[in-house]
Each structure stands twice: as C-alpha cells, then as structure tokens.
Amino acid sequence: MTKYLLSVYQPAGAGRPAPEVLDGIMKNVTAWRDELREAGAWVFSGGLHAPDTATGLRPHDGDVLMTDGPFVEGKEYIGGLTIIDVPDLDAALDWGRRGALATTLPVEVRPFVDEP
C-alpha cells in the first residue's frame, strides 16, 4: 500500500458558496469520506483556514524569520487535504477524481516518499 496526499485547491478571494450550495457539497464530501473509510483507504482528512491565517517560518542566517500571512501569493491555495493508503496510483487517482466531484474543486494527487 502507498500513501497519497489529495490536496483540494480553492480559488483565492472566492467567497463561501451560498448555504444551500455548501450544504449539498458537504453532503457529497461526507459521503466520499465515508466511502474511503469503508474501503479501508482513509488515513486522515481536514480542512484549512484561509492563507491569511498562516504564519511563515523561514531559516535565515542561523535564525528563523517569522512572517504573518501566506508563504507565497497565488490564485489558488490548499483549502483541505486527505491522506489515503491505497494499492497504487490508479486507485489514488480514482479517489482523487471522486473527491474533485464531491468538492467541486481541483484536487492534486501526490504520493508520499517511501520510507525505509
């Protein structure tokens, strides 16, 4: 089994969907996560606050500089993530496709580095 990170990308500056739209999306996301759990593929999921809540830590001359806000400016940011444990890339891509449909947002599928 290989672990994969499914990153959900959210458009920067986009407001929250209307409550009736968000309710439908969240029902789909919950159903998707339930399917992941039932399949034994779910490891962890979580949503993230907007980038302006982030604190960046950057090494500099033997110290660490701390800055408020996002590390980089962008048109999209990671709004949530799910870690799955599946047999192969094809399975991870299938779960990622289902996640994109459930969230209505782009999803990036990326494998973790195998540790010895």
pLDDT tens across the length of the chain (116 residues): 799 999 999 988 888 889 999 999 999 999 999 999 999 999 999 999 988 899 989 999 999 999 987 777 778 899 999 999 999 999 999 999 999 999 999 999 999 998 77
What is the structure's pLDDT at 72? Answer: 73
Taking CA 43 as the corner, what is the angle to CA 37 and CA 94, rounded to the nearest 5 degrees? Answer: 65
What is the structure's pLDDT at 6? Answer: 98
Residue 28 one-letter amino acid? N
User: Tokens for 64?
Assistant: 């660490």
| Region of residue 103 (phi > 0: left; psi between -120 and 50: alpha; otherwise: beta) | alpha
Listed residue (26, 35, 27, 36) closest to 86, CA to CA: 36
Other C-beta atoms lying within 10 Å of the C-beta of residue 8 = 25
Taking CA 35 as the corner, what is the angle to CA 101 and CA 18, rounded to the nearest 5 degrees? Answer: 40
CA gap 50, 56 in Å, rounded: 14
